[in-house]
A = this chain, B = another copy of it.
Amino acid sequence: MRARVTIVPRPEVLDPQGRAVAHALEGLGFGVVKGVRVGRIVDVELSDGLDRQAAEAKLEQMTRELLANLVIEDFRIDWLD
C-alpha cells in the first residue's frame, strides 16, 4: 500500500524558496506569475495487509517526527492505491 504525504508551508509563513522561484520565472519572461509556494511530497510504500486506519496513524506519526516541521508546515495524507 502506498500513501502520499503532501507538505506545504503554512500560509502565514514566508517561503524564501518560493520567492526565489517566482523571481526566476519573472526573469525568464513569465510575467503572469503572481506568486509561488514550494512544498514537497513523500510517497511512502508500506507493508501490505496493514489496517488502513492504523497505517494512516503511523504515517501521521512519521510526519510529525521526521517528515515535516509542523511549526511552519501543514500536511495531508492521501492513499495512492
Contact = CB atoms under 8 A, between A and B. Distances in A.
Interface of A: 6, 8, 18, 21, 24-25, 28, 30, 32-47, 50, 55, 58, 61-62, 65-67
Contacts of A8: 41, 43
Contacts of A37: 42-43
B44 A36 contact: yes
Question: How many copies of this chain are found per oligomer?
Answer: 2
25 contacts: A6-B41, A18-B43, A21-B66, A25-B66, A28-B65, A30-B58, A30-B62, A32-B46, A32-B58, A33-B62, A34-B45, A34-B46, A35-B45, A36-B42, A36-B43, A36-B44, A36-B45, A37-B42, A37-B43, A38-B40, A38-B41, A39-B42, A39-B43, A40-B40, A41-B41
